[in-house]
Amino acid sequence: MSEKIKQDLAATDAIIWVDGNKYTSSSNTINDILTGVTLTLKQTSKDNESDALTLSPDESAVQKAVEEFVTAFNDFITQSATLSKFTTANYSNLKTDTVALPNATNGPLAGESLLTGLQALLRRDAGSNYGNDDVSSIADLGIKVDAKTGKLELDSTKLKNKIHTNPEEVQRLFLGTEERPGLAGVMSDHIKGYVGSDGKGNIIKDETEKLEKDKKEAKKQLERTEATIEARMRAFQKQYQQMEVAIAKLQSLQGPLLRDTDFK
């Protein structure tokens, strides 16, 4: 009788050396050595031999991020245009006893300089230059600004080529350097000025509080005006009553006066 004997090898941790530093891991998938990099160990290296690790940017991820930026920018332009839409009131066939009402299609922020100011800032940011490289503006990436609508139009093929041939310059365009901010930093600072950051700067909040204060003041003014009108109405009513009394007295004297005249 034969007997098969199977012996399992004891599991051991993976060992990897990176830049002279030793690391161990219970898994062959390691993501805590190099930031943003996941290492997958396939086999054991030969003695006294090292493997070169070449890192390259994820071009598809960069392309997707730029495309999402273009979409978000265009969404803002569309939304702000809807909010600030203004159509002049129709004064034709207006009767003398009526007033022209605002157009029903007007946006809730029609005529509001706060929104148009932010619009102008972000459009200027999108059209500016950020350095002296071959890629210094979004136009160099195949992104142009429609002069009529203010929206961005993207040439995906040109963008893909620029990301492949000039990845560092594309990065500097958006992220900037220590000496000069990029497009993302400039836009972010302008947006933070409107919505606030770290308790600093909040134009929208300040304007909202101002409008609320003006609303309360207008309500008080309206109440004062109504009170004044009411007081004048009471005064007029009193004067009218006094006038009625005076007329009644005059009428009561009319009879005797007529009799005295007839007598003479």
Q: What is the pTM of this model?
A: 0.63
- What pLDDT, on the 0 to 100 scale, is given for residue 24? 87
- What pLDDT, on the 0 to 100 scale, is given for residue 261? 57
User: Which one of 26-35, 75-84, 241-250 scores highest in mean pLDDT?
Assistant: 75-84
Question: What does the pLDDT average to over 103-130?
Answer: 85
Burial class of residue 160 in the structure, from the number of CB atoms within 10 Å of its CB (0-12 exposed, 13-18 middle, 19+ buried):
middle
Torsion-angle region of residue 176: left (phi > 0), alpha (psi -120 to 50) or beta? left
Q: 74 to each of 60, 69, 82, 122, 246, how far by Cα in Å?
A: 21, 9, 12, 11, 76
Domains of the chain, residue spans: 10-47, 59-88+103-201
- What pLDDT, on the 0 to 100 scale, is given for residue 210? 78
Q: 114 to each of 90, 140, 152, 201, how far by Cα in Å?
A: 26, 31, 22, 14
- What pLDDT, on the 0 to 100 scale, is given for residue 138? 93
Of 156-160, 168-172, 197-201, 222-226, give the lowest mean pLDDT range. Answer: 197-201
Report which of residues 196 and 181 the model is more confident about: 181
Report the mean per-residue pLDDT for the chain.
Answer: 82
| Euclidean distance between CA atoms 67 and 141, whole angstroms | 11
Give the amino acid at 97: D
Instruction: Give 120-171 pLDDT, tens digit per residue.
Output: 899 999 989 987 778 899 999 999 999 888 899 999 999 999 999 988 899 9
- What pLDDT, on the 0 to 100 scale, is given for residue 199? 63
Question: What does the pLDDT average to over 201-228?
Answer: 84
pLDDT band at 78 (very low <50, low <70, confident <90, very high): very high
Look at the chain and count its residues.
Answer: 264
- For residue 140, report the phi and psi dihedrals to the nearest 5 degrees: -70, -15
- What pLDDT, on the 0 to 100 scale, is given for residue 192? 86
